[in-house]
Amino acid sequence: MRLLLRTQEEEEEAGWDYASADTKTHTHCYHIYPAMMIPQVARRLIHTYGKGAELLLDPFCGSGTSLVEARLAGLNAVGLDINPFAVLLARTKTADYDPILVRKQAHALRNYVDDLLKHGIQPEPPQFFNIDYWFKPEAKRDLALLRYAIEQAIPTETRDFFLVAFAATVRESSNTRLDEYKLYRIPESKLHAYTPRVFETFWERVGRNLRGLEEFFQERVPATHVQVYERDLRQGIPLPTATVDLIVTSPPYGDSQTTVAYGQFSRLVLQWLGYDDDTAKSIDRRALGGKIAPVQARYESPSLVTALEAIAQACPKRAKQVKQFYDDFALCFPEITRVVKPNGYACFVVGNRTVKGVRIPTDQILIEIASCFGWRHLTTHHRNIPNKRMPLRNSPTNKAGELSPTMTEEHIVILQKQP
């Protein structure tokens, strides 16, 4: 495994905040994603708990931060996510595209787009629910042209690289408020003054992502590989028993309805990429805690019981929803435990959110749940979430602008599987 430049003493002194760190190096710059892990945190966890490790698993891989860091550190990696857009990002960020080839293709694509524009060719935009509510006519027209050009001019082997830049362009040229991860429209009063810049945005993205690719391509360990599956973790992990050395992951903070709405964040992009409305809209319902179901995993967590009792006093329905998330989370543990080698490590980055004024100690609840499945708690590191990364402020009522400062701190819980 490659060594970090900082010594262990320097790391300890610096803490885990990484407030001024550049989090957009390598392919980490490709696309934002809600509640992304800090690359520096993943890197340090791999360095500290992955000595001699060969295989890393991120069972909630999102945009693939820990998978990218695995390749840079010389580990193979496997990622799972229920959200097809997360899977696209994670696959693309860890792929071995040759930057020289991609640069040539970008050049060819540009010429092709110019030709289409010169000849007034206007491909049909997709027809999905409410497209005219979310996109101005000119944005819809230019995005349709770009989408068509990528399809025609770029071979399938490298197409995802361009689709990720296209995805960022969809988001930035839509009528959504970019300061929210949930879907909120720019107010009518401001919409008329807003001019989407589809082509400029796309070429800026392609250029920036190419620089990230070059850095990644140079520094990744070529012999390593990454496999990413679109999968609900509760349905199992496609790996043999006792094959994983290290888990580095950040699970969802709670159900998507009331915390981070990964599905809402991804919906418009997925619709532009050709996913049907149902798939694009159902992600949050299908994610952990998405719908009420009978308890299936046996676990005990006194800290959860205490928190639920307090929430139930204010709102029994909310208590039930919160419980569902942890029931679903516990359901993932038999599989997580099965695939990890004896004495293997699991590093979970979690946040303690507040519901109905009650702080839910997820770090402690996680330790209690994991202990029911044969895990020992080693230590917990704490990190302050710098102001510039406040996606964790959420709207508890789903109302635009109604923020609750639920999390200013993250907890990095380190567990070891009992032999």
Ligand X SMILES: C[S@@+](CC[C@H](N)C(=O)[O-])C[C@H]1O[C@@H](n2cnc3c(N)ncnc32)[C@H](O)[C@@H]1O
Closest approach of Cβ 376 to ligand X, in Å?
A: 24
Minimum CB distance to ligand X smaller for 11 or for 230: 230
CA neighbours within 13 Å on the CB side: how many for 150?
Answer: 24
- Decide if residue 407 touches ligand X (CB under 6 A): no
CB of 28 to ligand X, least distance (A): 9
CB closer to ligand X out of 113 and 385: 385
Residue 287 burial (CB count, 10 A): 25
Of residues 60 and 184, the one with the C-beta less far from ligand X = 60
Q: Judged by CB under 6 A, does residue 272 bind ligand X?
A: no
E-state strands within 114-263: 226-230, 244-249
Quick check: 180 and 400 in contact, CB under 8 A? yes
Query: Residues 289, 292, 294, 299: is their CA dihedral positive or negative?
Result: positive
Among the listed residues 26, 30, 31, 36, the single contact to ligand X using CB under 6 A: 36
Residue 351 interacting with ligand X (CB under 6 A): no
Report the 3 state secondary structure along 38-100. CHHHHHHHHHHHCCCCCEEEECCCCCCHHHHHHHHHCCEEEEEECCHHHHHHHHHHHCCCCHH
Q: Which of 57, 72, 80, 322 binds ligand X (CB under 6 A)?
A: 80
In the complex, least distance from residue 143 CB atom to ligand X, rounded to whole angstroms: 24
Dist. CA 196–CA 204, nearest whole Å: 14
* DSSP assigned state of 242: T
The dihedral over CA atoms of 142, 148, 154, 155, expressed in degrees to the nearest 10, equals 160
The DSSP secondary structure of 344-411, one letter per residue, reads EEEEEEE---EETTEE--HHHHHHHHHHTTTEEEEEEEEEE--TT--TT-B-TTS-TT--B---SEEE
Give min distance, CB of 68 to ligand X, in A.
9
Question: What is the Cα–Cα distance from 340 to 326, expressed in whole angstroms?
Answer: 21
**Nearest distance, CB of residue 36 and ligand X, angstroms:** 4
By CB under 6 A, is residue 82 in contact with ligand X?
A: yes
- List binders of ligand X among 210-239 (CB under 6 A): 232-234
33 near ligand X (CB under 6 A): yes
Tell me whether residue 37 or residue 139 sits nearer to ligand X (CB atom): 37
Q: Is 136 in the site for ligand X (CB under 6 A)?
A: no
Looking at the Cβ atoms of 33 and 135, the one nearer to ligand X is: 33
**Binder of ligand X out of 63, 175, 259, 337 (CB under 6 A):** 63
Query: Which residue sits closest to ligand X, CB atoms considered?
Result: 62
Beta bridge partners of 355: 358
* CA dist., res. 120 & res. 123, Å (int): 10
Residue whose CB is less far from ligand X, 17 or 232: 232
173 scored as a contact of ligand X (CB under 6 A): no
Subset of residues 275 to 334 that bind ligand X, contact rule: CB under 6 A: 287-288
Positions in the binding site for ligand X (CB under 6 A):
33, 35-37, 60, 62-63, 65, 80-83, 86, 232-234, 250-252, 262, 287-288
